[in-house]
Amino acid sequence: MTKDGAGNRVPFPATLSQWKKTLLGFLLILLGLVLLLVQMDILWDDEGVNLFFAGTGLLLVLDYFVRLKRFPSRSPGWFRLLAGVVLIVLFLEPLDIFGDWWPLLLMAIGAGLILFSLRRNGSGEENFVRPAE
């Protein structure tokens, strides 16, 4: 929790600018961690690149949901979510993490889209029409 000018507690991140700086900090930490692991020969070069881009995808997905929750007046950007999921899938696949279970990812995305479309909009009205009784 951070405090505003009047001393009131404000949930983090308080501003979009603060969130952008925090996201860049996470990205630099991820890059440093991957480079350190490659330098110490814990990861090979190709594994390090794959983990960096998959981690970047994870940060893009996190960015989408933080913007959706904390800054509802702005569009969170579907491109961030889509690009994040694509990066995660493309760069974790060579590490054979998904194996035979990758269709579950598609099913989870589909279920999320359905639930997102059925949620209530900002005016309190539901997005779907109920049948007349």
Backbone angles phi, psi at 12, to 5 degrees: -80, 140
**Distance in angstroms (rounded) separating the CA atoms of residues 86 and 115:** 21
**Is 33 in contact with 58 (CB distance < 8 Å)?**
no
Is 130 part of a structural domain of the chain? no
**Distance in angstroms (rounded) separating the CA atoms of residues 24 and 37:** 20
Q: How many domains does the chain have?
A: 1
pLDDT tier, 14 (very low <50, low <70, confident <90, very high otherwise): confident
Residue 74 has pLDDT above 80, yes or no: no
Is 54 part of a structural domain of the chain? yes
Q: Output the pTM of the full model.
A: 0.65
Q: Domain limits at 77?
A: 16-117
Is 132 part of a structural domain of the chain? no
**pLDDT tens figures, 93-119:** 766 666 677 677 778 878 877 877 776
Is 106 part of a structural domain of the chain? yes
Is 91 part of a structural domain of the chain? yes
- What residue has token string 């507690």? 9
Is 126 part of a structural domain of the chain? no
